[in-house]
Structures are given as structure tokens and as C-alpha cells.
Amino acid sequence: MIEVNEDWCKGCRICIERCPVNALEESDKMNKRGVRPPRLKKVNECNYCRLCELLCPDLAITVFTDDKKKESRKTLLRPVGGRK
Amino acid sequence: MVEVKTADQLNKKFLRDGMWPTIFCNGCGHGVVLEYTLWALEELGWDMDKTVFASGIGCSSRMPGYINADGLHTTHGRAIAFATGIKAANPDLNLIIFTGDGDCAGIGGNHFIHAARRNMDMTVIMINNFIYGMTGGQLAPTAPLGSIATTAPYGNIEPPFDICNLAKALGANYVARWTVTHPYQPIKSVKDALSKKGFSLVEFLAPCPTAFGRRNKLGDIKKHWEWYDNNTILIEDYERIMNYGTEKEKEEVKDMFPIGVFQDLNNPGFFERYEKLVDRVMGGSPKTPVKAKAVVQK
Amino acid sequence: MVYKRDPKKIREVLGNKVQFLLGDMACVYGGLLAGVSFFGGYPITPASEVAEGMARMLPRVGGTYIQMEDEIGSIAAVIGAAWGGAKSMTATSGPGFSLMMENYGFAVMTETPCVIVNVQRTGPSTGQPTLGAQGDMMQARYGTHGDLEALAFAPSTVQECLDLTIEAFNLSEKYRNPVCVMTDGEMGHLRERIVIPDEKDLKLINRVEATISKNKYIPFTNSQTVKGSKVPDFPTFGIGYHTYVTGLTHNEKGFPATDKQKDHERLVKRITEKITDDADKLVKVEKFNLDDADTVFVTYGASARPAETAMEIARSKGKKVGLLTLKIVWPFPEKIVAKLAKQVDKIIVPEMNLGQIYHPVREAACGNCEVEVAPKIGGEMHLPVELLKYLGVK
């Protein structure tokens, strides 16, 4: 699941557009700024890749595996690439 | 200390209360750079009491304000010189400088050049959006040929500044360029840059949909972000094609931005040299032989 | 490692107590005695000797000297070093001083203690690099944009170059404001006998560091530890106060408040009032023969020397001439000059410019006596005989 700090969202849709499995959509509720923050689709294939969380320019999205085990997932920051 | 695993925890640990949300426009890349930097800092586990952020003027320069640490928001282009002083007064502090293309390559070019030449112990994170965003879209020294700005209404005719190759030529210890559109490589790169002694530079190509994308017909935020994916190439691939590729392949990549790690050295930084100087002077041998040899040692 | 002032080391480096010393070097000595640990400089005649002296001596007392890429970088590094916890200074001359003006304003706005030695030379522009002048007095006061109160000293002997540099550090630490030491090419390149003050005679002031608990601390408001002081406690970088320091108009927390009239007014008024409130305490003048005088010289810096000779010659010929030498030029000792104007017939202001301090003198005199400027430009000091002409003495 994802948690969105709704008032920080500026509605850039980067999370929605760049989700590899197309799991996000705009919610039907507007926030204070008059934009629609993202939410998970009812049926989705979210695999917790956390790309939306890492790309959000306003640090407004947090990805959890599920409600009960909020901290079970290890950080995914084991990047590769670049000359060494 | 609780290990930070999610953006929510990251926010609670690093963000300055009362300053959020940011002033950045919709679709701007600055916030992303901020987040990458925070993840890198988290990976390193640095003490935020001993980490100081400095910045000049411009969109990029508002970033120290959003981080819960000591921050110095200085005059246009001078952040690196200010940071030099901070580091000199207290070498135990870690210095991170957020700067933009106008701030660093334009008005602050001289300070940048000399800090890189001195191998001054600090990390410069330069966010390059090809435009003066905060003042409304004037021509930047990094603007691609032909791009439109309010002060270049008929297209830019000045060849752009390649700040990474400049830093490389000056012998900076670590030089890298990334786009903001992919998270993992830049986070690792910022982490590497921060842990380096001496001067390190990470340049980010960041979208500015408001001032650059809109004027240059790069489309909406989605298309503008894709423009960065389509116009960059890993430096390893770029060099291979330029050396061994066919004419057709060369033609395809010649106008792209190479991204990746440009330089990774371990030369002594300024303060290591200064400490040695003090030891030498106090030890009674104030003179050294002049070396005619050039600067960069690979 | 943060620098710690070590009197023994400093005295070892400075050498004999009595020396025959260059004016520029006296500024170096003053800085070192005051506990300077960072000097950022750029070569410029006639101030280069200050940088040279610092380059030679600072590494030996545990400080850091860096020759920056230009004067803008110098003052920037000096301000940065102050935030890192150092007492810091730079030295320059006219063209460099002009380059420093933007960051001088930054230091005022962010309330950063630092010292700028300006060994003045003639201008405008490159002027006469090797020769002295006093053409930057108004620049020290009004050179940067916006509203501010300046603090500036004007030494007229080499000993004063040393003493007033120490004093400049004290004021900058006390008021958290940049302080200028306005010497000139003549003073800078003059050699005189100096006596290095003993450690017990030194009165050094250090900034009030923030000590209050971190959640109660407010970085840009009246002091939270010293009662009645408008100078905020200093949150040195690295001690955990996480202060955001900006040259933008900021509220008491230090956060940008660029569209708020009240915040700007409160901020700038506090910054100026911390100095104007103490203006009477900040007076530092030398008075010679004022009691019975009907004509007085009001002057400062190098110009005080020929004025003193002229006064003595005129006195020997029966003229009742006095001399008021300003050691602190900014803030201007308005009350003293105003009182003097009511007592005498004429005030003469000898200056190595076409008339700068003449203006605040005339303002203070307020029509109560005649005020005349005695200008001399071109890199030469007044001859006493030239000043005698203003007194009507042949």
C-alpha cells in the first residue's frame, strides 16, 4: 500500500506516469492546492519497487508492504552501475 | 537509532519543521535531488550536527532551508567560497553545497574553478536545469544551443558550459553527472561523492517544466521527464561508440549528454596538504623544492 | 579541531615586545593578538603586506590562511569562517573593497562578526595603487545596498593600527556586525615604533555563544542570555542548533519572510538599533586644546598628523586652534561635534578626499559654526603649511 501526505502533493503525476506496473491513479478527492493526489488502483500489481517513493519531488509518498508489517521491507538502496 | 526504511521516516529525521512543502514548481527536479541526497546521507549515517549545507541564490539554493541542519544561504554564486571558510574554521564539519547552473557555472564560476583546483574538501551538488528558473527563465550558461529563453528569444547561439569536464580537467577527486529521472545510480553516486576527501561534484540534469520545458516545447511534465531519458547516454557507452562505433551510431549519440562517473581519484584534499604544511613549518623546514610537473595525477 | 587561542604561541611568533613595524604588519599583530584564526585574502597594493604577514604567521599559531581567488571570495570565506566559529578577517584596498560590498551587506544582514582592514588608496577605479587616500569613508558607511549601521575605525599611528584592530574584533564580536579598519596607504607603509600590549592588558571580547536548550532557542531575536541586549546569541555551526542563516529578510526563527513588511522592519530595526542604542558608548575621540579654541580641526586617520603639527605652529603664533581626532568614524560622534560647533567659530575638516566626513560634521554643526573642508587628493598628505592657510596663518 502507499501513504500520501496529501497536502504536500502538487499533482505532477510523476508517480503515476513512471510506475512500471501502472498501479497508481488520481484519487477523486482534491487536496488544499486543488490537485488530486495519487492512490493505488483497486486492482493493481504493485510489487513495492518504491520508484514512486524515490521519485516524488515533494517527498510525499511512502510505500509499505502491508499495514501490519510496516518496517519489514529492507531498504532497496543497493544500486548498481556507474564507473568504479 | 531507528533504521530509516521509508520516505515517511526519512522525512521525520531530516526535514526542517515549518518549512515544508517546498516552493518548487510542479514537476521540478530539485525536490528529487534533495531526496536522493537525504537517502545518501542516511546510508552514510552522518551526524547531522556536523553536516553543514551552503547555497547561493536561485531555486537550488533554497534547499538547505528544507533540511534540519545548519544551513547558510549566501549571495549569488559565492556559496563555495563561504563553505571554504566554514571548513577552514572547523575541519570536522562536512560541507555540502547545493548550487544551480547559473549560480555555479555562471556568476560563481571562478569560485568553483578554484575550489576544484585546490581540491577543497567539500561536495558540490549542482542542479542543472539549463535556465534561470527563479527569475523567470533567462538564458543560462549551460543552455543547449538553439534553446529558447526570455533573454534568448531567437534561440541560444552560445555553446554551453560542460561543468563536469571542467571539474575533471581541474583534478577534482570525484566528478559525476546524472539525471533525476532514475534514483539508484545517483544515490550511490552522491554517497560516493560525500565520502570522498577533496573536491567532489555531482551534476544533476533536472527538469524545469515551468521555465525551460514550456518555452522549448518539450511537452507536459511526463514528456519533459522522458526527454531526459531519451537524450542521455551512459558515459561508458558514449566513449565506446565514439571510439569504435559506426558513423551512424556516432551521429545518433553525438548530441546526447553523457552521464555517469567522469572521474574518481584519491588525491589529498586541501586540508590534508595544509596540515602537512603546518607540520613541516613547525618542524623547522619551511621550504620545499618547486615541482615543475603538472597537476592532475591519475 | 577548532582553533584555540594560545597566548604563548602567539607571543613567540610575534617576537619582541618593542618593534619598529610597518603599519600593515601592525594590523596583522592586532589580529593575531585578538585571536584571529582565519584570514582569507587577495593581493592588492597597498594592503598585500597584511596577507603576507598572515600567510607567514597564521600557520604557526594554529590558524588557517587561504589566498582566495578574488576579494569576493575572500570576504565570503571570512564570513563562512565566522559561522564555523573562528574570529576571521581580511584586508584589501579600494577596488577590492568595492568588490566586497555585496557580502559586506550579507554580513550585516546575517549578523556575522568579522573584520575588514581597508588600506585605502586613491580612486575612482585603479587610481594610484601605491599612494594613500581616504576616499572610501562613505563607502564603508553607505557602500552596500539597504539600511545598515556601520562600524569603522581610523588609526592615525602604527600603534593605533595594532590597538584598533584588536578593538575592531571586540566590537564585531560584541555587536555581531562587520567592522572596518580604515587605514590608508600612508599608514600602511609607514614604519613606527610599536609596543605589543601584555596579555594582562588585553581586553578581548568574545561573541555570546548560544547555550539555551535547543527547543527554546530563537536565532534572530534579542539575546536570550544577556538581558537587554539586542544582539542574538551566536549558534556556531556544528554545535547542534541547526540554524538556517539567510541574507533574505527572515523572521525570528531565521526562515525567509520576503513578503512580510513587519518582519523586515523588525529585523532591520533591531540590526541598526543594536548599534545606534550604544552610539554614545561607542565614541572614541582624542581632544587637543579644545577648551579655549575658536577654530578646530576635526579629522581622522593620517590627516590627523599634519593637522596636529599645524595646530602646534598656529598655537605658537598665538592662534587658538584645537584638534579633534576621530578614532571611531562610524558611528559618527554627532553629539561631540554638535557641542563643539556651539563653542567655536569654525571647524576645518582636513581629509584626503574631496570632502566625505565633512558632510556628517556639517550636519552635526547644524549651522552653529562655519564648517570648511580642507581637501587633498592625488596620493600626498597635507603639508602643515597648507593647513595653516585655512587658519589665516602665514
Mean pLDDT rounded to a whole number for chain C = 96
**What is the tally of structural domains in chain A?**
1
Each residue of C47-70: pLDDT tens digit?
999 999 999 999 999 999 999 999
Q: Is residue A68 assigned to a domain?
A: no
**What integer pLDDT is reported at residue A66 of this predicted model?**
65
A14 contacts B225? CB cut-off 8 A: yes
Q: Enter the C-alpha cell of residue B240.
A: 565506446
Does the beta carbon of B68 lie under 8 angstroms from any beta carbon of chain A? no
**What integer pLDDT is reported at residue C1 of this predicted model?**
65
Q: How many CB pairs under 8 A join B and C?
A: 155
HEC letters along chain B? CCCCCCHHHHHHHHECCCCCCCCCCCCCCHHHHHHHHHHHHHHHCCCHHHEEEEECCCCHHHHHHHECCEEEECCCCCHHHHHHHHHHHCCCCEEEEEEEHHHHHHHCHHHHHHHHHHCCCEEEEEEECCEECCCCCEECCCCCCCCCECCECCCCCCCCCCHHHHHHHCCCCEEEEEECCCCHHHHHHHHHHHHCCCEEEEEEECCCHHHHHCCCCCCCHHHHHHHHHHCEEEHHHHHHHHHHCCHHHHHHHCCCEEEEEEEECCCCCHHHHHHHHHHHHHCCCCCCCCCCCCCCCC
Each residue of C209-223: pLDDT tens digit?
999 999 999 999 999
**What integer pLDDT is reported at residue B284 of this predicted model?**
81
Each residue of B59-69: pLDDT tens digit?
999 999 999 99
C259 φ/ψ angles, rounded to the nearest 5 degrees: -105, 20
What's the ipTM? 0.96
Q: Is the pLDDT of residue A74 over 50?
A: no
CATH (domain of A45): 3.30.70.20
Q: Is the pLDDT of residue B17 over 90?
A: no
Mean pLDDT of C235-250: 95
Angle between helices C71-83 and C94-109 (to 10 degrees): 30
Does the beta carbon of B234 lie under 8 angstroms from any beta carbon of chain A? yes
**What integer pLDDT is reported at residue A83 of this predicted model?**
39
**pTM of this prediction?**
0.95
Distance from CA of B235 to the nearest CA of A (A): 9
Q: Is residue A20 assigned to a domain?
A: yes
Mean pLDDT rounded to a whole number for chain B = 92
Q: Is residue A72 assigned to a domain?
A: no
Spatial CB neighbours of B1, under 8 Å, sequence gap ≥ 6: B45
Mean pLDDT rounded to a whole number for chain A = 80
**What integer pLDDT is reported at residue A73 of this predicted model?**
45
Distance from CA of B77 to the nearest CA of C (A): 10
Give the neighbours of chain A: at least 3 Cβ pairs within 8 Å: B
**What integer pLDDT is reported at residue A78 of this predicted model?**
46
Distance from CA of B168 to the nearest CA of A (A): 14
Mean pLDDT of B239-247: 94
- Nearest CB partner across the interface for B281, out of C60, C76, C86: C60
- Nearest CB partner across the interface for A57, out of B11, B29, B235: B29
**Does the domain spanning C7-201 belong to CATH 3.40.50.970?**
yes
Each residue of A19-39: pLDDT tens digit?
999 999 999 989 888 999 999
Lowest mean pLDDT among B30-34, B291-295, C62-66: B291-295
Strand bridging mode A38-40 / C151-153: unpaired
Task: List the single residue in B with minimal CA-CA distance to A74.
Answer: B5
* Residues in chain A within 8 Å Cβ distance of B25: 10
Domain hosting A51: range is 2-63
B264 contacts A83? CB cut-off 8 A: yes
- Nearest CB partner across the interface for C244, out of B65, B114, B282: B65
Q: Which CATH number fits domain B7-282: 2.40.340.10, 3.30.43.10, 3.40.50.970, 3.30.450.80?
A: 3.40.50.970
* Residues in chain B within 8 Å Cβ distance of C102: 75
* Residues in chain B within 8 Å Cβ distance of A51: 183
Task: List the single residue in A with minimal CA-CA distance to B188.
Answer: A79
**Does the domain spanning C287-391 belong to CATH 3.40.50.300?**
no
**What integer pLDDT is reported at residue B5 of this predicted model?**
72
* Measured distance CA(A22)–CA(A16) in Å, rounded: 7
**What integer pLDDT is reported at residue B157 of this predicted model?**
96
- Nearest CB partner across the interface for B52, out of C68, C81, C237: C237
Each residue of B203-238: pLDDT tens digit?
999 999 999 999 999 989 999 999 999 999 999 999
Give the neighbours of chain B: at least 3 Cβ pairs within 8 Å: A, C
Q: Is the pLDDT of residue A47 over 90?
A: no
Say if residues C181 and C42 touch (Cβ distance below 8 Å). no
Q: pLDDT higher for B283 or C286?
A: C286
* Measured distance CA(B36)–CA(B23) in Å, rounded: 18
Q: Is residue A80 assigned to a domain?
A: no
Q: Where residue B293 falls among pLDDT bands split at 50, 70, 90?
A: low
